[in-house]
Amino acid sequence: MDNEKIFGMDFAKVYRLLLNKAEKKNRTKQEVDTVTCWLTGYEQEQLDEMMGRSLTYAEFFQNAPALQEKRELVKGVVCGVRVEAVEDPLMRSIRCLDKLVDELAKGKSMDKILKRK
């Protein structure tokens, strides 16, 4: 899938897919929201508000109040893509969120996910 197609996807739709991925492995919406807010700097209220708006996935990240500096420490493979090898900064942020949710789904503790070294 090319970048422009991913950038143009509806944020609420993508969020529901990420949430489903986590919930299938007995993780919670609160945990998905925690990693999403950690990565982007959004407050919970802002994240909740975006679910009712028409917002692309690119706009969600482009308007993020404070992208987490430690996102550069998110490494590994998700959907066959090595996160640290993604050159486009926007796509890398998108892949980081996918990787964080993937780590949740694989049972990694929230503490380990958020305290990157």
Considering only CA atoms, which of 87, 108, 105 is closest in space to residue 28? 105
Give me the pLDDT at residue 2, please.
82
Tokens of 34: 């925690």
Phi, psi of 8 (to 5 degrees): -85, -5
In this prediction, residues 10-23 reach a mean pLDDT of 96
Residue 95 has pLDDT above 60, yes or no: yes
In this prediction, residues 36-62 reach a mean pLDDT of 94
Does the domain spanning 2-108 belong to CATH 1.20.120.80?
no
Give me the pLDDT at residue 92, please.
95
pTM of the complete model: 0.92
- The domain spans of the chain are 2-108
Alpha helix (H) residue ranges in the chain: 3-7, 11-23, 29-40, 44-50, 57-62, 89-105, 110-114
In this prediction, residues 65-82 reach a mean pLDDT of 91
